[in-house]
């Protein structure tokens, strides 16, 4: 992914890629895999565990912990309202 660009966007120094946090409600999941297949950054994978109804719910893939950009596509696409993302807003003092 680390392509070398000959030209850079003018506002590259001021714009930062947002970081998202993923929230999951495993008991609502019916294992349709929409969130896993259509995540633009391929953050999610199916877990090996099962919920009470026997479906494999999604979890964050190993090594992809900092890849979610909180685009909320999984949230609005999920037919069961079982997943959502929130952007982590870092405090100025923490930097």
Partner 1 sequence: MPEIVVESHPIDTVFRTDRLPHIFCPGCGIGPATHAYAQAILESGIPKDQHACVSGIGCTARVPGYMDVDSYHTTHGRSIPFALAIALVKPEMEVTVFSGDGDLFGIGGNHFIHAARRNVDINIICINNFNYGMTGGQAGPTLPLGARATTAPYGNTEPPFNLPYLAAATGAVFVARWTALHVRQLKEAMLRAMQKKGFTFIEVLSPCPVGFGSPNDIGDAIEEVWLYRERCVVNHDAYLPDLEIDLRRKDVPFVMGNFLDIEKEPFDPLAMMKNKGE
Report the interface residues with partner 1, using CB under 8 A.
19-28, 30-34, 37-38, 55, 58-60, 65-66, 68, 73, 75-82, 84, 88
Question: Quick one: three-class SS letters along the chain?
Answer: CCCCCCCCCCCCCCCCCCCEEEEECHHHCCCCCHHHHHCCCCCEEECCCCCCCCCCCEEECCCCCCCCCCCCHHHHHCCCCCEEEEECCCCHHHC
Taking the least distance from each CB to partner 1, the nearer of 7 and 78 is 78
**Minimum distance from CB of 12 to partner 1 (Å)?**
24
CB of 80 to partner 1, least distance (A): 6
Tell me how far, at minimum, the Cβ of 76 lies from partner 1, in Å: 5
9 versus 54: smaller Cβ distance to partner 1: 54
Are the beta carbons of 95 and 35 closer than 8 angstroms?
Answer: no
C-beta of 4 vs 76, nearer to partner 1: 76
């Amino acid at each position: 992914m680390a392509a070398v660009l000959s030209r850079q966007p003018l506002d590259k120094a001021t714009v930062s890629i947002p970081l998202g946090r993923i929230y999951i409600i495993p008991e609502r999941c019916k294992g349709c895999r929409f969130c896993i297949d259509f995540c633009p950054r391929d953050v999610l994978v199916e877990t090996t565990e099962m919920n009470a109804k026997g479906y494999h719910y999604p979890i964050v893939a190993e090594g992809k912990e900092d890849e979610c950009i909180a685009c909320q596509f999984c949230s609005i696409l999920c037919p069961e309202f079982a997943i959502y993302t929130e952007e982590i807003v870092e405090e100025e003092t923490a930097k």
